[in-house]
Amino acid sequence: MRFWFKIELGGPAELKGNIMLSSSVPKKIRKLYTEAKTCFDVGAYQASVVMLRAAVERTLKDKSLEEVYLTPKQAKIMSRITIIGNRAAHGKSVSSEAIPTLLGSFGSVVCSVYDAKNS
């Protein structure tokens, strides 16, 4: 898997380090993911989750993935991000402590899916 993920937790709601998606992930999805990370970095937690939800939606609508299937665990992760993102989009507060896990989980799933597609 070509996914590089490094997190250093410096306390609650702090994510430091580099999160990079594989180059096999389309640029539009990488951009949404980067925006989600940037929002998190500046403390815009609701915006972070909404951007991550947008990345999930873009991934699931990608026609090139028609022959690639999510595992039940991957589907659960994507569903959970969508649910939390929907809540954030409608003004519900988001736990900042959960966002690093959501970012990492999405990154892992999306890299796995696109790497499988390209192999």
| Mean per-residue pLDDT, 66-81 | 88
CB atoms within 10 A of CB 46: 20
Q: Looking at residue 76, what is its pLDDT?
A: 92
Instruction: Provide the pLDDT for residue 19.
Output: 63
Q: Is the pLDDT of residue 60 over 60?
A: yes
Kindly provide the residue ranges of all beta strands, DSSP E only, lying in the chain, ordered along the sequence. 4-5, 8-9, 15-16, 19-20
Model pLDDT for residues 91-111, shown as the tens digit of each residue:
998 888 999 999 999 999 999
User: What integer best gives the mean pLDDT of the chain?
Assistant: 82
